[in-house]
A = this chain, B = another copy of it.
Amino acid sequence: MSTPPSHEAQRAELHAEVVVRAGVAAEWELPARHPAALLLTDRNVERVLPPALRALPRHVLAPGELSKTWAELEGVLQALDDHGLDRDGLLVCCGGGVVSDLGGLAAHLHRRGIAWDALPTSVIAQADAALGGKTAINLGPSKNSVGAFHAARRVLVDPSFLESLPEVELRAGFAELLKTAVISGEPLLAATETLSPQGLRSAHPEALDVLRRVIDTKLRLVQADPHDHAERQLLNLGHSFGHAFEALALGSLRHGEAVGLGLLCAARLAHDGGQLEARLRAALLRWDLPVRRAGDLGELLALMSRDKKRRGGALSLVIPEAPGHVELCPGIAPERAAEGLAAVLA
């Protein structure tokens, strides 16, 4: 009896391949060892699919976070079943973070796990969501509360997709670049501060360099701690605060916009006299990203205490003491979190 390559091995080793290059999406082809594939995409991305992907049977989502639901996940699983994909099947996810979060989870669950390829099309998906194997959907207001670890076999990051990305999406993505740059340290943060929306959209060499270094930073943290018990949690910088704003906004705030607000809240808790907070606020303003937001303090704190990052009932927050010096701080009291929220509450 022959033993096919284990899909667990691929999961443990994370991605077999991550390529960052303009034009790489157009080179995608169905690998010989996968007799069947299904494409998952959304109605916006469907208009700019590379030819090889257009040839695949497809399942198309409505664009946006509101598709990251239990019902849509069932729809993808049903499509995989209807198309007769067995354990050798491949799910190809071409789209933003919603497509890779939802699609990766469907790939994980279909017949107890099939391989998937990621072709991320938004800044957030290219810099963050499609990398590292975290997949999830939202359960009602509980963001990403249902999920699994299942890394895409290949991640093909093609900046050409950014040319047709809506302006607001491009701008929101900048906040995720900024987040990882703060974690990385002064050199990458300084480089990120010089980015312009037009440079990012046209994949200017300096922008592509920032994107590559952000991706490397994320992959290093993920490799050190694939299942999110230690170092990887630093990537939650700005997210505990951000998720609360996002949940409260019920779709009217983009994920990246929420992360930008969250960054300011987290920076407010640093003991640096407000230096980093001021730099981050200036950077967000240059990209026309929100730096103030109305919201009920009690509701926001309640949402944060429901967030999955708390452990053992206590609130854990990631605090950026300085670029490159970011710390996971467990046992934060609500009063302290409220101080952070004051950085942006209108």
Contacts and interface: CB of A to CB of B under 8 A. Distances in A.
Nearest to A234: B1
A197 to B, nearest CB: 33
A108 B87 CA distance: 19
A140 to B, nearest CB: 8
Nearest to A9: B227
Interface stretch (A146-154, A179-187, A237-245, A293-301): A146-154
Nearest to A33: B312
Interface in A309-324: 310-313
Contacts of A1: 230-231, 327-328
Contact of A146 (B86, B109, B311, B327): B109
B311 A8 contact: no
Interface string A1-39: 101101110000000000000000000000000010000
Residue in A8, A35, A87, A112 whose Cβ sees the most chain B Cβ within 10 Å: A112
A109 B105 CA distance: 9
Contact of A88 (B3, B8, B88, B312): B312
A260 interface: no
Oligomer copy total: 2
Interface in A71-105: 74, 77-78, 81, 84, 86-88
Given A88-B311, A308-B86, A110 B146 contact: yes
Given A86-B310, A88-B311, A149-B112, A8 B227 contact: yes
Residue in A4, A35, A140, A145 whose Cβ sees the most chain B Cβ within 10 Å: A145
Contacts of A308: 86-87, 111-112
Contacts of A140: 78, 81
A306 interface: yes
Residue in A74, A77, A146, A229 whose Cβ sees the most chain B Cβ within 10 Å: A146
Nearest to A305: B84
17 contacts: A1-B327, A1-B328, A3-B230, A8-B226, A35-B313, A77-B139, A78-B139, A78-B140, A86-B311, A86-B313, A88-B311, A109-B146, A110-B145, A112-B134, A112-B148, A112-B228, A148-B148
Interface of A: 1, 3-4, 6-8, 35, 70, 74, 77-78, 81, 84, 86-88, 108-113, 134, 136, 139-140, 142, 145-149, 226-231, 306, 308, 310-313, 327-328
Nearest 9 CB-CB pairs, A to B?
Answer: A112-B147, A3-B230, A111-B308, A8-B227, A109-B146, A81-B142, A70-B74, A88-B312, A4-B229
